């Protein structure tokens, strides 16, 4: 993804042109939730604008909720659905763990869809990111304490959502990041996932990964659905 140099306009402020370009990149999916923008100097050079004009555009984008500050003056693309949807629902889920069943139903549909799209549309870079996420998940599953497995599980599914190259779906999935993570954590707290269950879950994630590598949408969607069906069964058996 590259930013296009901005040309001077007599009747349009450069900061407006810059903010419009970044909005377009976000809405097209070229900039994904959580993705970091280049450093200010580098971005100003790419856009061919002064740093004051760039700062004005970034301040406006931050005010409108498209980006958020992170680190030393850096910005990342916001999860635009999180403040309205994910955060309140995650808080409710912590108060009422039984609501995990509803979240699992939602995950079933969203992840089956995003996995099928990813099998069709993933680039080689997407597949490398998914492979890295899967390797991290395998490492977390091999750790006897499994302290990071929920985080790695979520990251794997979000990498798949990004590879679907659907702007709306990517933002919904990232916006629900905290909700999905809380759902996975809740399931692990309430369901006794022994070594056999964890091995089954890892095999299911492997089936999803292999279907993506094979670029088989039907197989990928079926593998994702079977994985969530199994998780739902474990949860129902617990209660």
Yes or no: say if 118 and 161 are a contact pair by the CB < 8 Å rule. yes
Could you give the angle at which helices 149-163 and 167-175 cross, rounded to 10 degrees? 170
Q: Is the domain defined by 14-77 classed in CATH 1.10.3720.10?
A: no
Give the H/E segment covering residue 77.
Answer: strand 74-77
Distance CA 171, CA 235 (A): 27
pLDDT tens digits, residue range 101-133?
A: 777 788 889 999 999 999 999 999 999 999 999
Judge: domain 82-238, CATH 1.10.3720.10: no
- What is the Cβ-side half-sphere exposure of residue 83, based on CA atoms within 13 angstroms? 7
Q: Is the pTM of this model over 0.85?
A: no
Q: What are the structural domain ranges in the chain?
A: 14-77, 82-238
- For the cut 90, the answer to whether the pLDDT of residue 86 exceeds it is no
**Quick one: what percent of the chain has pLDDT higher than 90?**
36
Task: Specify the DSSP element, H or E, that contains 188.
Answer: helix 177-190
Q: To the nearest whole number, what is the mean pLDDT of the chain?
A: 84
Residues 20-64: tens digit of each pLDDT: 999 888 877 778 787 889 999 999 999 999 999 999 999 999 888
């Amino acid at each position: 993804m590259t930013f296009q140099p901005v040309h001077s306009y007599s009747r349009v402020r450069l900061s407006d042109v810059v903010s419009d370009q970044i909005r377009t990149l976000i809405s097209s999916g070229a900039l994904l939730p959580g993705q970091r923008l280049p450093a200010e100097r580098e971005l100003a050079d790419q856009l061919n604008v002064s740093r004051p004009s760039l700062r004005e555009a970034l301040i406006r984008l931050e005010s409108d909720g498209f980006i958020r500050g992170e680190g030393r003056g850096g910005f990342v693309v916001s999860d635009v659905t999180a403040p309205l949807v994910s955060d309140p629902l995650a808080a409710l889920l912590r108060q009422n763990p039984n609501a995990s069943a509803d979240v699992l139903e939602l995950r079933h549909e969203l992840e089956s869809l995003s996995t099928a799209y990813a099998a069709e549309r993933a680039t080689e870079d997407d597949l490398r990111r998914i492979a890295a996420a899967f390797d991290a998940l395998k490492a977390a599953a091999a750790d006897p304490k499994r302290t990071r497995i929920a985080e790695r599980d979520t990251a794997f599914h979000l990498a798949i959502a990004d590879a679907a190259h659907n702007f709306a779906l990517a933002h919904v999935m990232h916006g629900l990041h905290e909700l999905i993570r809380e759902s996975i954590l809740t399931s692990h707290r309430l369901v006794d996932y022994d070594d056999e269950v964890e091995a089954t879950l890892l095999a299911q994630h492997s089936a999803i990964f292999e279907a993506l590598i094979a670029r088989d949408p039907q197989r990928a969607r079926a593998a994702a659905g079977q994985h969530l069906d199994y998780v739902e069964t474990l949860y129902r058996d617990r209660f």
